[in-house]
Amino acid sequence: MSAEAVVEVRGLVKRFGDLEVLKGIDLKVREGETVVLLGVSGSGKSTLLRCINFMETPTEGRVFESGKLVGTEKNGRMVYRERELCALRTRIGMVFQHFNLFPHMTALQNVMEGQTTVLRESREAAEKNAIEQLRRVGLEDKAFEYPARLSGGQKQRVAIARALSMNPRVMLFDEVTSALDPELVGEVLKAIRQLADEGMTMIIVTHELGFAYHVADRVLFLDGGEIIEQGPPAEILVKPETRRAKEFLEGHSLFKLPD
Amino acid sequence: MHQWDFSPVFSNLDFLLLGLYHTFLVTALALSFGIPIGLALALCRLSRFRLVSGVATFIIEFFRTTPPLVQLFWFFFALPILIDVRMTPFVASVATFSIQSSAFFAEIFRGGINSIERGQWEAAKAIGMSYRQSLRRIILPQAVKRMIPAFLERSIELLKTTTLISTVSYADLMFQANELAQKTFRPLEVYTVVALMYFFLIFGFSYASIHVERFLAKSGESTMR
Amino acid sequence: MNYQWDFQTVWENFDVLWIGLIGTLKIFSVTVVLGLFGGLIVGMGRYARPIWIRGPASIFVEFFRNTPVLVQIIWFYFALPILVPINVSPFLAAVLGISLNTAAFSAEIYRGGIQSIEPGQWEAAKAIGMNYAQTMRRIILPQAIKRMLPPLTNRGIEAFKMSTLASVVAYVETLNQAKLIASLNFNPIETYSVVAFAFFVILYPLVQATYVLERMFGKSD
Ligand SMILES: Nc1ncnc2c1ncn2[C@@H]1O[C@H](COP(=O)(O)OP(=O)(O)OP(=O)(O)O)[C@@H](O)[C@H]1O
Ligand SMILES: [Mg+2]
């Protein structure tokens, strides 16, 4: 294999009580790869992302980050220590549908917070990096605004800058444009696309199929907690093999494939 | 080590229950006067006339801010001199807690009425209703539903506050407990039993009101406090 | 009505009232500090995972929220000394009753304030690698405190009003002194009016402050 797997998931099962949401997922994401996850509501996309950075603890299976197993195995069961998981999450950035900016901090402070509190960097270094990250998403002039005074698109870009400020090895995006007014979607997608061009490793859940087509190296189709189809976007999005994938794509009738 | 002996308490249970009855009586009367007075105060406070709303605001704020025990003493010792009526402990208690709780109910009413969107007033006006009609037929029925949790909470507070009337020698549960403790020389047992009586009573009401609140929340009514 | 007002005798006894006011302030400051601090501890206890902490904390809150303060004060004054060989002064009895009541109510305020912060804030903090303590200190508390401030101020006002209950066990505070003046000078109407207004004048600015706090913090986020 040419490039190392930044994230690898083996036999991932997640149950909430009796409900089995993920039924044994295997997934390998290579350095610099952009993977787009598609699937109907409730198919387990968010849960899969959240198991990768341990916002949720997997019920069964293993997660590897840069080739290293997360957690330790004891008597055939995985044991995870909070310290290890906190450190892991600094290397896996996540951006949420509803931004979740810290409302009592300015944009700049939001982006500095993880660096100073978690990574224990000096204020000067954190501030310098934070401004750099805000510039990356085109918001250096909003550094001293509080979230309440930012538009949805601007909030989401600050959230992206906040995740980037930790210098993560991989970024997870969970429907980051779903809560935005249509005219604000473009600016956020542009920022993500730019990251892809810079070679950032990313796993993206989105319903913007046109965007997926352009940005993805690989598209995964999730249904009922299983990956039922995967491959390059030109194949999966144009001539899907499974009936479920076809139905899903037909449901997004607004999606016009570029010729 | 103290030798617990509850028998003097239980053999005088009827004595305590009489006190409990008086506690309920004062609470019920204070509620039945306090709620209408509260509504009137709220409407006055919402009035367009500055003087009316000013006076109502002062009354409401005054009775919410001063200690109820001071109010009770004032009604019991002071008012009779001023208006030349004989104040029995019973009358003083009912009067104090009617007015005291009306000040709190007024704020609940006002909050509830204010929480109804302007559009409701306008819609009522548009079909030709007067202020009174809009209030009675459209606004209050909606507002009251939202106010129920706050009403229940306030009523429970009132029940707790009625213990103060024992200090003007009205024979409520607290007063009867004091009497019994002195008579039987068993203060520990008497006060423990009475504390538990109050607890289970009030806890029961609180518990029930939480369920009412949940039910209202489920039936789509936003609750306010 | 031809009542002869006699505020003169109230002013002449101002020093008596003053002693009472000092007593009121003393009991108020002790109970408010103990109550709000104790409430924080109990509130955190209700959050703890082990049932042997969570259980007693919950029972404490439910018990003291659901019993009248006067019953507690009287219980501590007359009943407690029988159980434990200590001398329970009127001051101690009143402090116990009012502090425990304030603690129980404020525990719920702390808990409610923390729970009112959207789960997204916990998630976002978690996602950048913060642990529980860091999240609490840097993200949750700074937001929650704003929401808790108005109801906590309210609790302080209630504690001040409750301090009058100490007069029932003859602790020397304002109302107790008023009783004394009224019975010696036969002027209850003037004395109690003065006392009522004194409480109003002291507390009303605080009431206004809670309104201001509510307006400042209520809708900001
Ligand atoms: N914390 C939880 N507790 C119980 N059930 C959960 C929890 N989180 C998710 N689920 C359930 O797991 C299933 C998959 O949820 P998930 O959020 O992963 O779906 P999704 O593919 O992201 O859907 P959507 O497109 O609507 O976001 C759903 O049935 C959901 O109800
Ligand atoms: Mg989802």
| Per-residue three-class SS string for chain A | CCCCEEEEEEEEEEEECCEEEEEEEEEEEECCCEEEEECCCCCCHHHHHHHHCCCCCCCEEEEEECCEECCEEECCEEECCHHHHHHHHHHEEEECCCCCCCCCCCHHHHHHHHHHHHCCCCHHHHHHHHHHHHHHCCCHHHCCCCHHHCCHHHHHHHHHHHHHCCCCCEEEEECCCCCCCHHHHHHHHHHHHHHHHCCCEEEEECCCHHHHHHHCCEEEEEECCEEEEEECHHHHCCCCCCHHHHHHHHHCCCCCCCC
Interface touch C127/A53, C-beta < 8 Å: yes
Interface touch C67/B199, C-beta < 8 Å: yes
Q: In this predicted structure, what is the pLDDT of residue B225?
A: 43
Calculate Rg over the CA atoms of chain C. 21
Q: In this predicted structure, what is the pLDDT of residue C2?
A: 64
User: Can you tell me which atom of ligand 1 is nearest the CA of A205?
Assistant: 22
- Max Cα-Cα span within chain A: 55
Token pair, residue B26, equals 């004062």
Dihedral (C-alpha) B161, B167, B170, B172: value to the nearest 10 degrees? Answer: 50
Give the residue, by CA position, lying nearest to ligand 1 atom 31. A42
C129: left (phi over 0), alpha (psi -120 to 50) or beta: left
- As a whole number, the mean pLDDT across chain C is 91
Ligand nearest to the CA of A19: 1
Token pair, residue C15, equals 């020093």
Rounded to 5 degrees, φ, ψ at C89 are -80, 160
What are the residues facing A77 on neighbouring strands? A74
**Bigger pLDDT: C38 vs C186:** C38
Q: What is the pLDDT of residues C154-193, one digit of tens each?
A: 999 999 999 999 999 999 999 999 999 988 888 888 899 9
Which sign does the torsion angle of CA C177, C182, C188, C190 carry? negative
Specify the DSSP class assigned to residue B162: G
**Bigger pLDDT: C38 vs A253:** C38
Question: Helix or strand or coil: residue B24?
Answer: helix
Element (H, E) at C119: helix C119-127
Find the A48 Cα to ligand 2 centroid distance in Å.
9
Chain B CB contacts of C68 below 8 Å = 160-161, 163, 174, 198, 202
User: Can you tell me which atom of ligand 1 is nearest the CA of A16?
Assistant: 4
Q: Is A113 on the interface with C (CB under 8 A)?
A: yes
Rounded to 5 degrees, φ, ψ at B166 are -60, -25
Residue B28: partners with Cβ closer than 8 Å, 6 or more residues away? none
Ligand 1 and A45: CB distance under 6 A: yes
Q: In this predicted structure, what is the pLDDT of residue C1?
A: 54
Find the A33 Cα to ligand 1 centroid distance in Å.
25
User: Per-residue pLDDT for B1 more than 70?
Assistant: no
For B77, the closest of C168, C188, C203 (CB atoms) is C188
CA distances from B173 to B9, B18, B26 (A): 13, 7, 11
Calculate mean pLDDT across residues C119-142: 94
User: Per-residue pLDDT for C198 more than 50?
Assistant: yes
Q: In this predicted structure, what is the pLDDT of residue B86?
A: 78
Ligand 1 and A42: CB distance under 6 A: yes
Touching A: C residues 144-173, CB under 8 Å? 146
> Residue ranges of the alpha helices (H) in chain B?
7-11, 13-45, 50-65, 68-73, 79-83, 89-115, 118-126, 131-133, 140-161, 173-184, 187-218
From A47, A50, A203, mutation site for ligand 1 pocket: most ligand atoms within 8 A of C-beta = A47
For B74, the closest of C70, C192, C203 (CB atoms) is C192
For C82, the closest of B2, B65, B177 (CB atoms) is B2
d(CA C157, CA C159): 5
Token pair, residue C113, equals 């304030």
Residue A100 CB-half CA count within 13 A: 23
Residue of B nearest to C80 (CA): B188
d(CA A222, CA A219): 10
d(CA C78, nearest CA chain B) in Å: 6
Interface touch C121/A117, C-beta < 8 Å: no
Calculate mean pLDDT across residues A234-238: 90
Interface touch C189/B178, C-beta < 8 Å: no
* A22-26, B160-164, C208-212: least confident range: C208-212
Residue A146: partners with Cβ closer than 8 Å, 6 or more residues away? A103, A104, A105, A106, A107
d(CA B93, CA C134): 52
Chains B and C touch (3+ CB pairs under 8 A): yes
| Predicted-assembly ipTM surpassing the 0.85 threshold | yes
Q: In this predicted structure, what is the pLDDT of residue B218?
A: 74
Q: In this predicted structure, what is the pLDDT of residue A149?
A: 94
Confidence bin at C221 (pLDDT 50/70/90)? very low
For C164, the closest of B69, B181, B202 (CB atoms) is B69
Residue of C nearest to B153 (CA): C66
Ligand nearest to the CA of A18: 1
Residue of A nearest to C129 (CA): A86
CA distances from C195 to B83, B99, C24, C159, C201 (A): 20, 18, 12, 17, 10
Neighbours, chain C (3 or more CB pairs < 8 A): A, B
DSSP string, B106-127: HHHHHHHHHHS-HHHHHHHHHT
Calculate mean pLDDT across residues A244-255: 78
Q: In this predicted structure, what is the pLDDT of residue B80?
A: 83
